[in-house]
Structure 1
Amino acid sequence: MARVSQEHLDARRRQILDGAARCFARNGFHATSMQDVLKEVNLSAGAVYRYFSGKDELIAAIVTEVLGGVREAFEEAARHTPPPMPDVLVGLVMTQVLGLGGPGKHGLTWDGEASFPRLMVQVWTETLRDGELSALLREGFGSVRDAWVKVVEGYQEAGVMRADIPAEHVARTLIAAAQGFAAQQALFGTAPAEVLQDGLRALMSVRAPG
């Protein structure tokens, strides 16, 4: 019997995650059944359950992967001195990692530019009733926040940002801007990442009178 390669196993897992993400983004978690996922990925139940025990495990895997991709992007930026300016950095992350211009850097492919924002809002809602997912999201947010704090500290050390404001406060504000923009995409329609970049650039240019 031929041995299945790791490359094949990884590709099959990728296929299942991508299909599940598209289903969840279109119909929501509760309206999507495992049968819907099986149909989307055109695989048997045995093939899918070999990788994931059910919907909850699929959701957790998708959330973990996306948050990991976001964290990696900011950690990479923190290695530069100074890091890219906030408007540039947030735009890059929204485009390359979150999939607002095509497939995300983390690997998930989305069925249209609005898919990730819709999925993100659904995850937030689900965390209100699912303690395990809430803990997972909290841990992921903590890692993203820590990566952003390193970026902000890089700005401060390079002298391009005032150092008397706690880096965590700035990090939380920038994360909120990215999350809010993604939520607007889900609720009011898509817009290019340049819209957020332009807004941040304008805010960065504000100076006190006199």
Structure 2
Amino acid sequence: MARVSQEHLDARRRQILDGAARLFARNGFHATSMQDVLKEVDLSAGAVYRYFSGKDELIAAIVKEVLGEIRAAFADVTRQSPPPPPDLLVGLVLGRTLRVWSSLNVAGEPLFPQLIMQVWAETVRNEELAAVLTEVYTELRESWVLAVEAYQDAGMMRSDIPADHVARTMIATVQGFVAQQALFGGVPVEVLQDGLRALMSMPADA
């Protein structure tokens, strides 16, 4: 019997993850069955269960991959000193993340925001995934604090506001934008960038 290449195994695993992620984004984790996944990816049960023991393992893999990609995207763009201005930084991170998960796009509309909402909801009931989310959030906040401190040192941002306060606010801004996209339809990342740019232009005594 011919040996299956690692590339083939990786491609098949990717096929399963992408198909399951589309279903989870559209219908939610718990309204989606493994039978739904099998139908979506057009594979036999044996082929899918070779990679994942069941739906919980599939959910965990997707959650960890989504959060890991967000962490990696942010780490890449904050390596500069000082980092790009906040509006550009947010656009770079969101833009890269949406591109990576472009396989979830349906009729030109990204389903990634809906998937993120499902991920947040799932962590409420799953302690293991909640720990992963907490770890990623803590790491992002620490990275944002370093970025803000770099802005302050470069004279790009007020230095009398604690960097941690700015970090939490920027993360909340991104989370809110993702929630708006999921609930009310897709909006270009440039809208968020324009809004941040306008807020940053306000005088300190406004």
CA distance in 2, matches of 1:77, 1:111: 24
Give TM-score scaled by structure 1 length. 0.89
Over residues 45-83 of structure 1, what are the superposed CA-to-partner deviations in whole Å (9 max), with x where a residue is unaligned?
111111111112112211211222211222122221211
Question: Residues of 2 paired with 1:173 and 1:166: CA distance?
Answer: 11
Structure 1 residues 209 and 111, CA, compared in 2 at 3 Å: closer, same or farther?
Answer: closer
Structure 2 residues not aligned, in runs of 5+ = none
Q: 4+ runs of 1 displaced by more than 4 Å?
A: none
Deviations 1:111-160 (A, max 9, x none): 33341111111222222222222222212222222332332232233232
Deviation at 1:162, TM superposition (A): 2.7
Aligned to 1:128: 124
Q: Does 1:174 align with 2:186?
A: no
Distance 2:198 2:19 in 1: 39
CA contact (8 A) 2:77 2:92 kept: no
1:110 to 84, 104, 107: 104
Q: Does 1:152 align with 2:148?
A: yes
Measured against aligned partners, the alpha-carbon deviations of 1:21-67 in whole angstroms (never above 9, x if no partner) come to 00101111111001111111111111111111111211221121122
Residue matched to 1:28: 28
Residue 159 (structure 2) pairs with residue 163 (structure 1): yes
Q: Is the 8 A contact 1:64 1:140 kept in 2?
A: no
Following the alignment from structure 1 to structure 2, what is the Cα–Cα distance between the partners of residues 9 and 151?
39
Q: Counterpart in 2 of 1:58?
A: 58
Identity of aligned residues (%): 69
Stretch moving more, 157-166 or 77-86:
157-166
Name the stretch that deviates more: 69-78 or 181-190.
69-78
**Partner amino acid, structure 2, of 1:168:** D
Structure 1: gaps of 5 or more residues: none
CA shift for structure 1 position 209 = 4.1
Say what the alpha-carbon RMSD is for the aligned residues: 1.8
Residue in structure 2 matched with residue 69 of structure 1 by the alignment: 69
Write the mapping of 1:8-47 to structure 2, written as runs, cut at 5 A.
8-47=8-47
Of stretches 109-118 and 16-25 in structure 1, the one that deviates more from structure 2 is 109-118
